[in-house]
Structure 1
Amino acid sequence: MEITPSITPDAAGLKVLAHPVRLEALGMLRVEGPATATMLAQRLGLNSGATSYHLRQLAQHGFIEEDTERGNGRERWWRASHRATRTSAEGLAPDDPVHDLYGSYLHAVADVYDGKVRRALDEQSSLPQAWQDVSMISDWVLQVRPEQARALLERLVEEIQDFPETTDDDPEGAAYCLQVQAFPLPGRLS
């Protein structure tokens, strides 16, 4: 079954995704493929009951769906319904209730990203040297106008989206995570 490239959540969807466990479970289903609540619970460090609850919340809002092609009747398998989640605060007024939901969602995303970076750092020294050599945590602070920042982000996104990936069966290939955080330097505009 072919899954949809992306979804843009409504307010209720943003509220569901504003929970780091749900975001992480969704990410695992997108990257690692279908899984049961028990499998995800082990990876998330939760019990299967709590994990099942979070999966039902994701399913109720269309982020995941039951994978009926797997299992034996006793196991309930889940798969991602979309490859990516797209959100934007563009056009949201600060007094719009969705603005607060969007902020809560972004804080959950930051928590998940932080955890992913910390786990990567924990295992970096055990990686083959070739993978250690292409791991980086850096920042650049540029003095730009908003339109320049938009152009830069658009170029980065275009480059990433157009980049040729290896196939899943490539023995030298691996899932390679790029995280981009872009924002005005805190405390400089307020």
Structure 2
Amino acid sequence: MASSAITPSAGGLRALSHPTRLKMLMLLRLEGPATATQLAQQLKLNTGAASYHLRQLAEHGFIAEDTERGDARDRWWKAAHESTRADLRSRTTEEEAESAEAYLHTVALLYTETLMQHVEERRYLPEQWQDASTISDWHLRLTPKRAEQLTDALAKVIEDWHEEGDDGEDTAGSGYFVVNLNAFPRPGTVVLEGEDE
């Protein structure tokens, strides 16, 4: 991939706030290059709709044509970056704020879908994977500074975590393991900007 991360503009976040596009980007990042037809089959779309969403992703720089594969009739697409970094702090205009909010709604929707899929198949997983999985929450009383330190520390642990002795090759018994880090003030407990204290 050309670079490890992309920080989208407001228009890019708005384009990525469509659930189908975010799923397509996720599939291209996790499973590698694909054609519109292949993605349409995976996502239960018609090929025309899949092609439209791929063009939107390409227009905003999320994906690129994979010129090493296919031919004039069979276009392959690949992710242009490994991850998306949504810089939500610098969103100052109403359009930027609305785009960021729409994007976060879509991310939360996809997280919820993945979590529900896990719950449905959990009892059929091998016991070792059941033991390794958790759906937990902790409610802590923290200042904003301590909360930020906690999320930064957890993110660093996750980013640095890998299989012991991992040299990039698959380790026997390894599998893709999803870690979602959701950290935020408990809704309804903090005075919002613009509200009377």
Q: TM-score, normalised by structure 2?
A: 0.89
Deviates more, 1:3-12 or 1:114-123: 114-123
How large is the RMSD of aligned CA atoms in angstroms? 1.5
* Aligned sequence identity (%): 46
Q: How far apart in 1 are the matches of 2:24 and 2:174? A: 23
SS of aligned partner of 1:178? coil
Deviates more, 1:60-69 or 1:44-53: 44-53
- Match in the other structure for 1:51: 50
Contact 2:91/2:100 (8 A) holds in 1:
no
How many residues are paired up?
188
Q: 1:24 to 1:3 in 2, by over 3 A?
A: same
Identify unmatched segments of 5+ residues in structure 2. 192-197
- Match in the other structure for 2:182: 181
Q: Could you tell me which of 114, 117, 120 is aligned with 2:115? A: 117
Contact 2:65/2:78 (8 A) holds in 1:
yes
For 1:67-86, list aligned pairs within 5 A. 67-86=66-85
Q: 1:168 to 1:111 in 2, by over 3 A?
A: farther
- Match in the other structure for 1:98: 96
Q: Residue type matched to 1:154 in 2? A: D
**Quick check: which has more Rg, 1 or 2?**
2
- Match in the other structure for 2:14: 15
Q: TM-score, normalised by structure 1?
A: 0.92
Q: Residue type matched to 2:105 in 1? A: H
- Match in the other structure for 1:28: 27
Shift of 1:83: 0.3
Question: Is 1:63 aligned to residue 62 of structure 2?
Answer: yes
After TM superposition, the runs of 4+ consecutive aligned structure 1 residues lying more than 6 A away are none
Contact 2:70/2:76 (8 A) holds in 1:
yes
Q: How far apart in 2 are the matches of 1:91 and 1:71? A: 40
Shift of 1:96: 3.1
SS of aligned partner of 2:64? strand
Shift of 1:127: 1.8
Q: How far apart in 1 are the matches of 2:23 and 2:79? A: 12
Shift of 1:48: 1.7
- Match in the other structure for 2:134: 136
Q: Residue type matched to 2:67 in 1? A: T
Shift of 1:12: 1.1
Q: Residue type matched to 1:144 in 2? A: L
Q: How far apart in 2 are the matches of 1:100 and 1:22? A: 18
SS of aligned partner of 1:133? helix
